[in-house]
Amino acid sequence: MNEQEKFDRFIEKYPHPHVHCTRRPHLSRRNFFKIGGAGVTASYLANKLPAQDLVQYQVNMQNTAQNVIYILLAGAPSHTDLFDYKQIAQQPASFAPTTINGVTFPAGLMPKLAQHLENGDFSIVRSLNSWGLVHSLMQTWTQIGRNPSAVLGNISPNIGSVVAIEKTQPNQLFPTFLALNSQNCAGPGYFSASYAPFKVNPTNGGLRNTTSPEGQTRFEAKYALMHSLDDNLRINSPMGQPMDDYNVFYQTATGMMYNPIVNKAFSYTTAQSQAYGNTSFGNACITAKQVLEANQGTKYVEITLGGWDMHVNIYAQNQLPTLGKQLDDGLGQLITDLQANGLYNNTMIVMAGEFGRTVGPLTAAAGRDHWPVQFAFFGGGGIKGGTIIGQTDSTGANIVDFGWSRGRQVRPEDIEATIYSALGINWTIIRQDDPLHRGFYYVPNSDTDLYGPINELFG
């Protein structure tokens, strides 16, 4: 019995049912700032469990990255038109497929990324296989690294929230987990709201609500008065964790008000925006770069680029050609700038959709439907550039070479373990603080070693 057959037998015994997932709580920018005051240094809860409340196994972590930028290509991009390119007669000539270091790549569609591929700046996983073909289910699955419909699915935190609970430091200025253009991203699950994604849609004016119409002096006086009246209810509150969370919101918000570091990190010029393609995705990439440059505590940035659900007229100018250019302009420039400022070596970029799309000739509607085989992109943060993990057949329909030591398809849980390993987080941790008292696994089934990092990606 080979490794894929063993894996399939385990999954058959412990199935992953595919049903609609539920939404999760989050901390919106509006709520974050509307409860804020002024002039107080931010402080975050550090809900570290004592050793007796953790189970973990001895594993070798890569520990090559300090930060992660996770790009969710919502809608499921066509793998055979992008990073597992398979040429067909219907593709526009402008895609200009070119062989670069032995890899066929649509250099005309994504010229900046083609140059980075030639430079060996990123790697591609082509043996990734989705658990399902429902957008909402799988978008959440990729973010929480497990089945949203399973027992702990509805209270499971975003990968970014796990990073936050592991990496948040006292008195840091920025939230550990920043979500850009990601209003629907998964939240902190059962973790404290302190580890929720801080959701922002970037604008060139920077963060809104970071000043008061009454002015800083008056605002600080009112904030001090508020504390003098109700600190006994908001600090170590007899009402429990919700009021403590509420107080933390005040503290974190006030630390980001009237602050030039915040203004610099979350603002950008017209020239900068144009260099990144002058799109909302490009602006999110600028913001991610600047926030990490500020080095004020953010470790995990999630960016969403949607619009990839192309069932009809996929090659129309306003479809794949336009979205491919947005991706190329934003991501290509992000890599260039991270290399220039010295952050690329310790910032891992991970990019994937929720699944792939049908292969070969287009459908009768001139589009592509849902398909489980997909790609994942890895760059920076210790990734060995120019590596191709896995191989599909001539059409891209089936995986014919898994390309890694576990000898099976790569799953979202393996991507999750790879992120944790790169950040020096033990992916086998099982927390004993979940409300159902079942034990929350950072990566499911870590006690049986069912999933694990793709170590072949690292140098």
Q: Is 145 helix (H, G, I), strand (E, B) or coil?
A: coil
pLDDT of residue 32: 44
Using alpha carbons, list the distances in angstroms from residue 236 to 28, 47, 239: 24, 14, 9
Measure the CA–CA gap between 272 and 279, rounded to whole angstroms.
11
CB 230 within 8 A of CB 212: no
CB 156 within 8 A of CB 195: no
pLDDT of residue 251: 79
Using alpha carbons, list the distances in angstroms from residue 131 to 15, 34, 317: 10, 40, 31
Residue among 39, 44, 33, 42 at smallest CA distance from 210: 33
The parts of the chain modelled with pLDDT lower than 70 are 15-48, 51-52
- 49 token code pair: 């469990």
Number of helical H runs and strand E runs in the chain: 12, 18
Measure the CA–CA gap between 411 and 149, rounded to whole angstroms.
17
Measure the CA–CA gap between 452 and 115, rounded to whole angstroms.
31
**Architecture in CATH of 3-457:** 3-Layer(aba) Sandwich (3.40)
pLDDT of residue 163: 98
Measure the CA–CA gap between 271 and 263, rounded to whole angstroms.
17
pLDDT of residue 298: 98
User: What's phi and psi for 389, nearest 5 deg?
Assistant: -100, 115
pLDDT of residue 46: 38
pLDDT of residue 203: 95
pTM of the model: 0.90
- DSSP label at 66? S
Measure the CA–CA gap between 456 and 309, rounded to whole angstroms.
31
236, with CB counted inside 10 A (0-12, 13-18, 19+), is exposed
What residue spans define the domains of the chain?
Answer: 3-457
Axis crossing angle, helix 159-167 with helix 412-422, rounded to the nearest 10: 20
Q: Is 380 helix (H, G, I), strand (E, B) or coil?
A: coil
What is the C-alpha radius of gyration for the chain, rounded to an integer number of angstroms? 22
